[in-house]
Amino acid sequence: LRRMLNLPMVQEKKLVTGEIILRDPLRFKESFTVNKGSRDGISPGDAVIDITPDGRMLLVGRVSACGARSSKVVTISEQSVRISGRVGSNSAIGFTNTGNAHAGNNKIRFGWLPLRDDYVSGGVVTTTGFEKGIPANIKIGELVLTGNSGFNFSNSQDLSAALIPA
């Protein structure tokens, strides 16, 4: 169909294995540099994942800048990185790093969630596939509800929680 309509063919993404070659000791949770670049098929916006020994994919972050032989990666802990995530317990969609405040020790903010009362602490959050370069169903982390009942429904139009990155 793409050929008949003269649309560009969609290229399949492939996994490229790289190593961390540079990490700032003061911002080690937010960014690092890997030894793969545009010569290896890497481009800005590509997903950076880790694969567990049992084969599960975990989202680390995304490529922010790319040279011929190396790429700068920003992790999901970086405040400027916004990635949409689907909550496994109810399929609600929210976004990482919403709001001005950091969620706390080893957690990131996860907000703009629809007003619902069926969120479960510990629920798995996966990528939605909405962003270019980031496939769907890669684990981002686990939802952490705050307070006794989870959320404050006062005058807010959406909900916020914390997320423990995978």
Which residues, in sequence order, are CB contacts of 148 under 8 Å at separation 6+?
Answer: none
pLDDT band at residue 118 under the 50/70/90 scheme? confident
Burial of 88 (0-12, 13-18, 19+ CB in 10 A): middle
Query: What pTM, to 2 d.p., does this model score?
Result: 0.83
Q: What is the per-residue pLDDT across 74-108, written as a single tens digit (0 to 9) for each?
A: 999 998 899 999 999 899 999 998 865 555 678 99
Distance (Å, rounded) from C-alpha 80 to C-alpha 128?
18
126 pLDDT above the threshold of 90? yes
155 pLDDT above the threshold of 70? no
Q: What confidence score (pLDDT) does residue 148 get?
A: 42
Residue of 158 and 137 predicted with greater confidence = 137
Token pair for 8 = 């560009």
Q: What confidence score (pLDDT) does residue 103 get?
A: 56
Residue 75: beta bridge partners? Answer: 61
Q: What confidence score (pLDDT) does residue 150 get?
A: 47
Beta strands in the chain (DSSP E): 20-22, 31-34, 47-51, 57-66, 71-75, 84-87, 93-96, 108-113, 124-127, 139-144, 159-165
Q: What is the per-residue pLDDT across 56-74, written as a single tens digit (0 to 9) for each?
A: 999 999 999 999 999 999 9
Residue of 127 and 89 predicted with greater confidence = 127
Token pair for 73 = 């990666």
Stretch 26-46: mean pLDDT: 94
Q: What confidence score (pLDDT) does residue 128 get?
A: 94
Q: What is the average pLDDT score of the chain?
A: 87
Residue of 22 and 150 predicted with greater confidence = 22
